[in-house]
Amino acid sequence: MEENQNTTYEAAQHAARIIRTCFAEDVRVAVVLGSGLGAFADELAQGAGAAVFSYEDIPGFARSTVEGHAGRLVISHVDSVAVVCLQGRFHYYEGYELSDVTFPVRVLAALGVKSLVLTNAAGGVNPEFEVGTLMLITDHLNLMGVNPLRGGNDERLGVRFPDMSNLYDAEFRSVTRKEAEDINLTLREGVYAGLTGPSYETPAEIKMLKTLGADAVGMSTVPEAIVGRHSGMRVLGISCITNAAAGVSGAPINHEEVMETGARVQTQFTELLQRVLGKLIY
């Protein structure tokens, strides 16, 4: 779908109507799952009354070409709360426009979602963050060189100049910390730097990011967070530190390590999501 703010609203409403034909309940909470973190959606799909859509069956959705992104939309219940889950995402580096990357968030808004949980696999810039650590995102650095709100603004989607001072909701982070403590799960907190990829960063770039205040780095999340806030959503961000960034450990980086780490932490990660999502209603 080409960048055209004059049609994004109608396209999102159309996609939402198709989804509602299989799940008519109001949905207020959504979660986007990153690389290797899809187990939560697999469990959600087994719930009574669950609705499952392949991305290719939803008008306007692109196709994810990356291993670890199943490309499914799943709606079901977590503790009686209706939750919609995007199992996989599209990335700017795959050749899509940011309007394509963020269109699913527009559809979530059209479904009535007010609370958006964004998850990702990230490289650890902070040397104190061990592989397998879960990090609450406190803020981000948009180093992609482009903003998803560039171009004409449709007021039906959001205001022209949205405030980003509390993008990663402080109250949501507090709720998540409390739930993590109850299951003896240690959470770190930090700043996420979003770059375009698909190549991993060089040691010099990681040194730069560390100087700028980044604790983790990845190739997603930032455009979705911006569009989510533009759409009036409150946002919670969680990174899984799946590898040490270039130059931090001296070891080479590969996508297989990212997938393996995601699989290793998925039990705790899924339990945390199950405990948190039902408490993000407002």
| Active-site residue identified among 69, 82, 180, 193 | 69
Maximum pairwise Cα distance, the chain: 51
Assess contact for 74 and 51: CB atoms under 8 A. yes
Is 92 noted as a catalytic residue in this protein? no
Is 243 noted as a catalytic residue in this protein? yes
Tokens standing for 22? 């299989």
| Active-site residue identified among 94, 179, 201, 224 | 94
| Active-site residue identified among 30, 51, 121, 233 | 121
| Active-site residue identified among 39, 55, 64, 91 | 91
Is 35 noted as a catalytic residue in this protein? yes
Is 140 noted as a catalytic residue in this protein? no
| Active-site residue identified among 255, 259, 263, 271 | 255
| Active-site residue identified among 220, 230, 245, 246 | 220
DSSP letters for 114-174: -EEEEEEEEEE-STTS-TT-EEEEEEEEE-SS--TT-S---TTT--SS---TT-B-HHHHH
| Active-site residue identified among 35, 76, 99, 120 | 35
Is 219 noted as a catalytic residue in this protein? yes
Assess contact for 45 and 137: CB atoms under 8 A. no
Is 94 noted as a catalytic residue in this protein? yes
Cβ-Cβ contacts under 8 Å for 213 (sequence gap 6 or more): 141, 191
Instruction: Spell 242-258 as b/e; 16+ CB within 10 A means b.
Output: bbbbbbbeeeebebebb
Is 155 noted as a catalytic residue in this protein? no
Residues labelled as active-site residues? 35, 69, 91, 93-94, 121, 219-220, 243, 255
